[in-house]
Amino acid sequence: MAMNKKVLKCSICHEKIDEHVNPFTNKIYWTEGHNAQPINNGRCCTICNDTIVVPVRLTRALGFDVTRKDFN
């Protein structure tokens, strides 16, 4: 099954969203990035997901109030 190749931009850093490649087959299996919530309602790259989105989610899950309005 071939995937349609879309070039998406990260809704946080505005760089190209990275493609996920299977290391065994070297085939692209995902091109649509990560859910950027709670930062915004868009899609984000892996770097922004790992360094911004996930830490904010974990911080909120632990009960801290994190408000970031400077990512849009």
pLDDT digits (tens, 9 = 90+) for 43-52: 999 999 999 9
On whether the CB atoms of residues 36 and 11 are closer than 8 A, the answer is yes
The burial class, CB within 10 Å (0-12 / 13-18 / 19+), for 17 is buried
For the chain, what is the domain count? 1
Nearest partner of 50 among 13, 23, 25, judged by Cα:
13
Please check whether residue 71 lies inside any domain of the structure. no
On whether the CB atoms of residues 46 and 18 are closer than 8 A, the answer is yes
Please check whether residue 72 lies inside any domain of the structure. no
Q: Which pLDDT belongs to residue 68? A: 56
Domain with 6, as residue range(s), is: 1-66
Mean local confidence (pLDDT), 51-68: 87
pLDDT range class, residue 7, cuts 50, 70, 90: confident
* Global pTM value: 0.78
